[in-house]
Structures are given as structure tokens and as C-alpha cells.
Structure 1
Amino acid sequence: MAFTSNNGRTQSSLSDINITPLVDVVLVLLVIFMLTAPVLQSGIQVKVPQTKTVHEVTQPRMVLTITKSQEVYLGDKPVNLADLPTLLRKPGEDPATEVIYLRADERVPFGAFASVMDAVKQAGISNISIVTQPIQNSPATNAQ
């Protein structure tokens, strides 16, 4: 598209799209999604105990969660403790080869924890990994 200026000269307009702002916005969104993706893995908030030895596992497994109010979740769905053994049994699979991760809030009473462990054992699953997080070393604890 061309137009004439006040002094009689013909000029054309710039029809190029400046993609720099678009790239900036896309990169910011990418960083935001990269930071929030690990947080969105499990919508159930529990404060797992801290231990010195923690092994990272990358294989997807069944996760059983016990909240501080002693609610039990299989994945992200609430379950009744009495129904848990039947929910954990998979037809056609040997329960002895199944692995389950147990995330329990550190404030859960041992009785509730033992009840959930018993329900898992009733399903025939004996390989239970308890989820913990590494101890955070702070400068105050190093000074002692």
C-alpha cells in the first residue's frame, strides 16, 4: 500500500510483522509451564517426611496418598479403605510383581498408616515404597 506525503513524495508502508514480542511472550509462557508442571503432578497436598536417603524413581507407578485428615486417595481419586484391596487388584496380573508408592503426610497417626498398609497387603501387593523428600540443609543446622 502506497501513499503520498505532504511534500509530494510517494512512500510505502511497512507490512512486515515484528515477531520479537511474540517470541518474548511464548518464551515467558514456556518458562511458566516448565516451572508449574511438577507442581501439577499431584493435586493432593501432603507434607511427606524428610529423610537422608532418597532414591529418585522415574517409572510411573500407582500412588496411594494419605492426607493429614486421614483421607485415602488412589491416584487423585478418593477411595474408601474397605474398597482399597479390590481396587488395587488388577485382573490378569500377579500382585507380587506390583509396586505401589505410598505418600503419607508426616502428621498421619501410625494407626491410620498401618490400616492402609494392611489394605495394600490384603490386595497381595508386598512391594510398597514410602515416598519421602530429602532433608534440606539450612545454615542454622550446619552451625550446630
Structure 2
Amino acid sequence: MPLMQPTHDTEPNAGRLESLYLSVTDGKPETARTAHVKSILAQQNERLDDAAQLAGKALVLEPENADYQRQLGLVCAQAGWMQQSAQMLNRAVYLDPNDHEAWYMLGAVFERAKHLDQARVCYEQSLRLSPRYGRAHEGMSRLEGGSRPVGR
């Protein structure tokens, strides 16, 4: 699995899942949660512009939600918008400093941008919070071994 993919399981029938969710929520007021779920589904269907817009809508409705910040950071990273991704993920770890996945994702963004000292700090923090988190171990191994950076 590529390191910048969502941490939730992707469905082989993501398009059908998205269609079902859209039909169930049709005509209902948009909440932060529904915008967040729609963002995840759009991301799974590789519609990153839509996913970013929906994640942004969730954040407008609930700006202090670390999960929504992390989602927008992940979408930005997948779209190649590294500066925006780093901003969103920085905000996510500020809002929830115990989120080991957000720390890992921020490290991966820094690694892709070749800010290796910052990447190391983020991977180390991820491992402090979750010592068995394999993705952070892989990130540290890449930094220590000088192997291929994330997303390259």
C-alpha cells in the first residue's frame, strides 16, 4: 500500500458505495460529518478536487475537528499540494497531539519535501504514541537507510 493512501480500508466497489451514500443523504442538510464522509468517498474514487472541496466544507462547519483537518491534509498530499498538506497536518497534530497517524502523515509530507530532520521528528513522535505503528517504522528505516523517499 502506498504510504500516502488513506488509513481506512478502500472498497473495491467505492463508486457504488459513494452512489449509495449520496442517494441516502440526498435532500438532507449537509453536516460536517456528511461532508467528511463524502470527501473520503470522493478520495477513494480519485476525485481529489471534489474530496478537497468537501473536506474544506467540513472544516468550515467544524474548524476544530482534527479528523477533518487530517483528511484535508491527506487529500492535499495525494494531489501533490505539499505546502497545503503540511499546513493542514500541522493543524491536525495541534488539535490532537496524540494522533499517531497524523504525525506519521506529516512526517511523510516532510520526507517528500526533503525536510528530513522534520520528517524524523514526526516519525519519532508517531512511534512514541504508537510504538508498533509499522508505517512510522518504515519511515524511520527509509531515513536511516537513505532509501527511496515516500511518493517517489
TM-score by length of 1: 0.31
Instruction: Answer 1 or 2: which has greater helix percent.
Output: 2
Instruction: Answer 1 or 2: which has greater strand percent.
Output: 1
Query: Which protein, 1 or 2, shows the higher relative CO under an 8 Å CA cutoff with sep ≥ 6?
Result: 1
Asked which structure has the greater CA Rg, the reply is 1
